[in-house]
Structure 1
């Protein structure tokens, strides 16, 4: 059974660049499989795509799981939790990031959870990353607990190695990834984020050193590299990325900070090395693109053109494969 999903996507309340634009309800449609858990599969047929829900803190939370083609012939799979930007959805992020194609080719499981819907006219989905964003923040939605419960359910239901669970996300989804690194380092082995800043409101007390891959465009005006108020509709103040990396460099006890590893006409790559437990911090700053998933598709009809200098999907998977929980 197929249903038609309509959504607007600023790709975040501080996601898709709005500069002189206003949030619109975009008539952009995606065909997706329906059902709380896909129950129209003929008996005996293998499932590779499952839509399901879980109740956490009294809220019904939804998500979509994609299993790679080799799932039933192998074991010990990695799990990548892929979180959309504010105003998006799991299905939208799957479509615009193209991450499922990478997951199928490389043989890892990916789950696309949905943020909570707001109570405004557009019912924009957001994540509570601390000081951002919108409904999830103002209502203090416990998204950290949601992701923790989701990991518990998925590792108990699928052939996932619990030491190989990773978080990624764009914009508001990337902000939540940073919060998970601070509060759930016992469950998440590494994070990879795009177009975001760290927005936690409490001291970051990560229980271990956390590997971090950050991708950003110098043209991003929604979440400016140097911090400040972006052009998006969130109204949030974003911390400068330099300060974010300084925090994590100290927490990871990196003895060789902020080294330029690559600098060319397309991007600059900086690394923080000599960190505890051989973790690294890697920061790709592209000269093209904007507030969009590098190597993917624009988050909406009004969205920025993604960078073509790097592929977020290739970089995050190469990065994640280096790390697992102790």
Structure 2
């Protein structure tokens, strides 16, 4: 286990997100999902969309199971994300389901970027994936999460802003909030962000950047790593100032709805992914109210 991952373990043992509740397991006898990896298609707004679903070997219909959506970076794919993000391995250890959505143009529509068409409804796609998986699996509806790398991290932020009724918490990496977008979630949302100080694509200090795509896009303006942390402290109505919680992480914990806003920084780190185990150790301790 990495040092960062240890920082977010609960101080005392207790029921985890995959443990049966104290009154006994919640059976889903009408569900038929089985362990394994499958590629699926779904229609969203007249568009054929695709995602890969990974169900760990430990899964059964005897109890509710957390679900995570893991979004790939710009110009990569769901298959790339499965092989490189680390969430599949953590899912095997911790017993949660992972969906890996595939973006149109290998990109996600964040409003001002990054798909070729601004009409792509990726938030609707994410909602549809959750609905379809929940219809087939014994999903814990209070423990649905989003994570992602680069443009996929931006998608995780979008879901925190626009789908807080479904997603309990998010863990974006190598991306920040955008000045051009409005974020007004229906409730406070816990956020765990991972950033590198020498990111040449998403500048740590914020400012203008042009997405590296094969088609022309207008520049976007990042709030920066610190600016994004403060943005979420404001959204979650956190009090005080960010405190050092070790392992190059700092954040706010005195926030509405028992939410948190955390930023973990890799000194001299570039545009890189995150520690999937550390992200999960944070996410799994947050549930929908």
Under TM normalisation by the shorter chain, which class is it?
0.7 to 0.9
1:72 aligns with 2:60: yes
Which ranges of structure 1 fall in alignment gaps of 5 or more residues?
1-43, 118-124, 295-311
Distance 1:96 1:45, change over 3 A: closer
SS of the equivalent of 1:70 reads coil
Matches of residues 48-63 of structure 1 in structure 2 within 5 Å? 48-63=36-51
- Is the Cα–Cα contact under 8 Å of residues 179 and 223 in structure 2 kept in the other structure? no
Matches of residues 12-27 of structure 1 in structure 2 within 5 Å? none
Q: Deviations over 1:174-230 (max 9, x none)?
A: 111111111110000000010001237443111111000000111111101111234
Instruction: After TM superposition, give the deviation of residue 71 of structure 1 in Å.
Output: 0.8
Which residue of structure 1 aligns with residue 111 of structure 2?
130
CA distance in 1, matches of 2:66, 2:179: 27
Q: Deviations over 1:131-187 (max 9, x none)?
A: 22141xx33211111111111111111111111100000111111111111111000
CA distance in 1, matches of 2:245, 2:266: 14
Which residue of structure 1 aligns with residue 258 of structure 2?
278
1:226 aligns with 2:191: no
Which residue of structure 1 aligns with residue 151 of structure 2?
172
Q: Deviations over 1:98-134 (max 9, x none)?
A: 22111111111011000002xxxxxxx1001122214
- RMSD over aligned Cα, in angstroms? 2.0
CA distance in 1, matches of 2:37, 2:122: 23
Instruction: After TM superposition, give the deviation of residue 243 of structure 1 in Å.
Output: 2.4
- Is the Cα–Cα contact under 8 Å of residues 211 and 279 in structure 1 kept in the other structure? yes
1:325 aligns with 2:285: no
SS of the equivalent of 1:315 reads helix
Distance 1:181 1:200, change over 3 A: farther
* Aligned partner of 1:269 among 249, 252, 255: 249
Q: Give the TM-score normalised by structure 2.
A: 0.82
1:140 aligns with 2:119: yes
Which ranges of structure 2 fall in alignment gaps of 5 or more residues?
1-31, 214-218
CA distance in 2, matches of 1:144, 1:45: 24
- Is the Cα–Cα contact under 8 Å of residues 172 and 192 in structure 2 kept in the other structure? yes
CA distance in 1, matches of 2:206, 2:33: 50
- Is the Cα–Cα contact under 8 Å of residues 129 and 200 in structure 1 kept in the other structure? no
1:289 aligns with 2:273: no
Which residue of structure 1 aligns with residue 194 of structure 2?
215
- Is the Cα–Cα contact under 8 Å of residues 224 and 240 in structure 1 kept in the other structure? yes
Equivalenced residue count is: 253
CA distance in 2, matches of 1:186, 1:320: 16
